[in-house]
Amino acid sequence: MARLDQVIPNIVDIFIQYADDGEGKKCQLNKEELQKMLEEQIQSPELKDKVNAADIEEAMQLLDKNHDGEVNFREFCRCICVLAKCYYQKKRGKGGKRGKGKDDKDDCDQED
Ligand SMILES: [Ca+2]
Ligand SMILES: [Ca+2]
């Protein structure tokens, strides 16, 4: 299978698996589901540094853009996007340069 053919279903399947895990809405990650997902699916230190399950309040705040207390698929995609950018920057040797006016709030955070 082509690589993107694997990545896209993976992203969708991970969301569905955890969103449908506990009680509550099946199409949203609540705090517990989000925590479990982050703990189990994010292992590399640099990505953990970005969205950390240990501080779930902060992670939720970071991801829950419409402030309904849960993470929907759109917000989850944004999270993936942020992590991908983090990894990209690290790979390109641009990690660690912070505080230049822009933080996480660039193109990935824009609404349609
Ligand atoms: Ca749920
Ligand atoms: Ca939300």
**Model confidence, pTM:** 0.79
The ranges assigned to domains in the chain are: 3-110
For residue 28, the ligand closest to its alpha carbon is: 1
For residue 21, the ligand closest to its alpha carbon is: 1
Separation of first and last alpha carbons in the chain: 31
Task: Kindly give the distance from the C-alpha atom of residue 63 to the centroid of ligand 2, in angstroms, as a whole number.
Answer: 7
Q: Report pLDDT digits (tens) over 32-48.
A: 999 999 999 999 998 99
Q: Determine the Cα–Cα distance for residues 112 and 109; give it in Å rounded to an integer.
A: 9
C-alpha count within 13 angstroms, C-beta hemisphere, residue 10: 9
Mean pLDDT value across the chain? 87
Average pLDDT over residues 61-71: 96
> For residue 110, which amino acid is it?
Q
For residue 18, the ligand closest to its alpha carbon is: 1
Task: Kindly give the distance from the C-alpha atom of residue 26 to the centroid of ligand 1, in angstroms, as a whole number.
Answer: 4
* Sign of the torsion angle spanned by Cα atoms 45, 40, 6, 19: negative
Reported confidence tier of residue 58, pLDDT bands at 50, 70, 90:
very high
Task: Kindly give the distance from the C-alpha atom of residue 1 to the centroid of ligand 1, in angstroms, as a whole number.
Answer: 30
DSSP 21: T
Are 108 and 81 a contacting pair, CB within 8 Å? yes
How is domain 3-110 classified at the CATH fold level? Recoverin; domain 1 (1.10.238)
